[in-house]
Structure 1
Amino acid sequence: MSKNIAVVAANGKAGRLIVEEAVNRGMDVTAIVRGENKTKAQHAIIKDLYDLTADDLTGFDAVVDAFGIFDPAKLDEHSTSLKHLADALSGSNTRLLVVGGAGSLYTDEAHTKQLSDSFPDNIKGVPLAMGKALDALRKRDDVHWTYVSPAGDFQADGPRTGKYVLTGEEYTTDADGKSAISYADYAVAMVDEIAADQPHDRERISVRW
């Protein structure tokens, strides 16, 4: 059965590719953007993320949160934006799928160390902020969420191969010790998760080549 989905911050690079992948697979897609819709979505809601209400998001099978921010003065918005969307979807059957980060992936079996622990201090801000947002999301049992982390090397302009390896909470690499995925193949994985008969409900998953 075709899915009816919305993509928040659809005009961003990740958002546009997720929209395109979903449309190409026959899904009914609504882009949620602050200005002109620059995606292939069939419909658009022109609204700021923080102005979205539960009514705006009613009727979707899934809402993809592709919002991202890199301004050091606004990193708390990783948490506040995700909380706003989760609150709007609270108690509904609509899934919330989050375009996450790799920095919070664990590097040990005990899950006491994260990939971001090895980052230089000057680039820790974004991964730590995204990790904090994930920590808050884990406490929500009123929302059907799935957090999707990319590989360590997240390639904006990499190829679409249609192939990827699905992993979980831990940072993994291929046989050559590399952890990479393109935005395009990340979009493939995200749409696969939306379409899944047995979704990863209230779980964090990760994808790499």
Structure 2
Amino acid sequence: MKIGIIGATGKAGQKLTQEAIKRGLDVTAIVRDASKLTESVQVIEKNILELTEEDIKPFDVIINTFAAPLTDAEQYRVMGKHLIAIFSDVSTRLIVVGGAGRLFVDETSTTHLFDTPDFPEFLIPSSKNQYESYLDLKASSIKWTYVSPAAFFDPEGKRTGNYEVGKDHLIFNSAGESYISYADLAVAIIDEAVSEKYLCAAITVVGEK
């Protein structure tokens, strides 16, 4: 399987790259600055907005880990629309690592996590733009999967290799925590890349500490 990882030098991107290599997959890093790579893989050195249909056509799956600056949250929609455009006429699948803010916290599915009083105010613009980008993806005709981490997305957490999958509601582990390590999220995403279990669907993942 040929996998491209957009943002392979970021925290999530590095874990995904390592996990894909561990599984023996054919990995290409899609990055703005190849000098920051810590793994020996093939490289496409481009900004997302420079990517073309020809760039992504050879891949089975592209995983997008792009995180916009907090000061430029609208980039989520700009980048998302560009990706939808270049994926429209190819068989390549797009997996997007999004945010937890879109998840519902009530049984009636009316209140998103980003609407709750304790949600950090400085994250609301990014979270809402990520959600709008997810809606754009949902309305598209491309092959996609949108993955929301748990509310506490831990860059230093261990790789247990175990996780639980939910859909559109915030879910919790055995300790009652909405938690996932970057390493276990990478396990879940590479599992999904290989299995195609949740094609054209959004999921969330929770794990143990």
Check whether TM > 0.5.
yes
- Counterpart position of 2:126: 126
User: Aligned residue for 2:136?
Assistant: 136
Whichever residue aligns with residue 178 of structure 1, its letter is E
Does the CA contact (< 8 Å) of 2:53 and 2:90 recur in 1? no
Shift of 1:18: 0.3
| Aligned equivalents of 1:205, 1:83: Cα separation in 2 | 20
State the Cα distance separating 1:41 from its structure 2 match: 5.0
Q: CA deviation at 1:135?
A: 1.4
3-state SS of paired residue (1:55): helix
Q: Which residue of 2 aligns with 1:81?
A: 79
Matched residues in 2 for 1:36 and 1:95: separation? 23
- Counterparts of 2:107 and 2:135, CA distance in 1: 18
Q: Which runs of 5+ in 2 are unaligned?
A: none
What percent of counterpart residues are identical?
A: 37
Q: How many residues align?
A: 204
AA aligned opposite 1:102:
A
2:55 is paired with a residue whose SS is coil
Q: Distance in 2 between matches of 1:109 and 1:95?
A: 31
Matched, 1:8 2:6: yes
Q: Matches of residues 1-209 of structure 1 in structure 2 within 5 Å?
A: 3-37=1-35, 38-40=37-39, 42-72=41-71, 74-118=72-116, 119-141=119-141, 143-196=142-195, 198-209=196-207
Contact 1:82 1:133 (8 Å CA) reproduced: yes
By how many angstroms is 1:175 displaced? 3.6
Give the Å deviation of 1:85.
Answer: 1.3
Moved more, 145-154 or 127-136: 127-136
8 Å CA contact retained: 1:31, 1:39: no
CA distance in 1, matches of 2:2, 2:197: 16
Q: Contact between 1:19 and 1:39, CA under 8 Å: does it hold in 2?
A: no
Maintained 8 Å contact 2:179/2:206: yes
Deviation at 1:120, TM superposition (A): 4.1
Tell me how far 1:110 sits from its aligned partner. 2.9
Instruction: Give the conservation status (yes or no) of the 8 Å contact 1:20–1:39.
Output: no
Between the aligned partners of 1:137 and 1:39, the Cα distance in structure 2 is 31
Residue identity matched to 2:122: N
Q: Conserved in 2, the CA contact under 8 Å of 1:164 and 1:208? A: yes
Which AA in structure 2 matches 1:163?
A: N
Determine the C-alpha separation between the residues in 2 that align with 1:84 and 1:190: 22
With the length of structure 1 as denominator, give the TM-score of the two structures.
Answer: 0.93
Render the CA deviation track for 1:158-188: whole Å, top value 9, x for unaligned: 1111111111111111243211000000000
Please state how far the C-alpha of 1:92 moved relative to its aligned partner: 1.6
Paired amino acid for 1:149: S
Aligned-partner SS, 2:43 = strand
